[in-house]
């Protein structure tokens, strides 16, 4: 088993070395990578939720991606400073939502300022999601 791992590791190093003989990692940017995939899914049970919408978002060096307003979404992520739970506000008290259970799960997965991130939150229904995320553009796609 050890020989097999050593052989695979050696082959990987030789592949990385290529023609130059040396594998070098060079940064492609002065900015820490910040690129995430955002999803909205029907369902709340792990593995049973069906993604109904998704968007990509890259924030460094400039906001871009498939998100309809990448500049606003990147600003919201920056304000959250990696604590995505701060994006959740108290539901708008003037908004009335039905009391039925039809779960909706939102996720953020990727890299934020050079660190791996994975966050999700499940709302009891789409109305409550909308009322709680009121004023944010992050999941408005």
Number of domains, the chain:
1
Closest CA to 108 of 35, 39, 32: 39
Structural domain includes residue 58 = yes
Structural domain includes residue 112 = yes
Q: Give the end-to-end CA distance of the chain in Å, rounded to a whole number.
A: 49
Res 30: pLDDT: 67
Structural domain includes residue 39 = yes
CATH number at residue 50: 3.30.350.10
Structural domain includes residue 2 = no
Structural domain includes residue 47 = yes
Q: CB 29: neighbour CB atoms within 10 A?
A: 8
Residues 68-82 as b/e (b if ≥16 CB within 10 A, e otherwise) read: ebbeebbebbeebee
Domain of residue 103, residue span = 27-132
Res 29: pLDDT: 53
Longest dimension (CA), the chain: 66
Structural domain includes residue 140 = no
Structural domain includes residue 4 = no
User: What average pLDDT does this structure show over 66-91?
Assistant: 89
Structural domain includes residue 19 = no
Res 41: pLDDT: 96
């Amino acid at each position: 088993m050890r020989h097999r791992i050593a052989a695979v590791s050696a082959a990987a190093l030789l592949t990385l070395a290529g023609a130059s003989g040396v594998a070098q990692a060079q940064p492609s940017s002065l900015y820490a990578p910040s690129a995430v995939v955002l999803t909205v899914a029907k369902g709340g049970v792990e593995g049973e939720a069906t993604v109904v919408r998704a968007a990509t978002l890259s924030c460094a060096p400039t906001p871009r991606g498939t998100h309809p307003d990448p500049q606003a979404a990147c600003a919201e992520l920056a304000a959250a400073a990696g604590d995505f739970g701060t994006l959740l506000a108290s539901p708008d008290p003037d908004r009335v939502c039905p009391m039925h259970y039809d779960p909706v799960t939102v996720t953020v997965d990727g890299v934020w300022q050079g660190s791996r991130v994975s966050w999700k939150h499940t709302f009891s229904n789409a109305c409550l999601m909308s009322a709680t995320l009121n004023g944010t553009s992050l999941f408005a796609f």
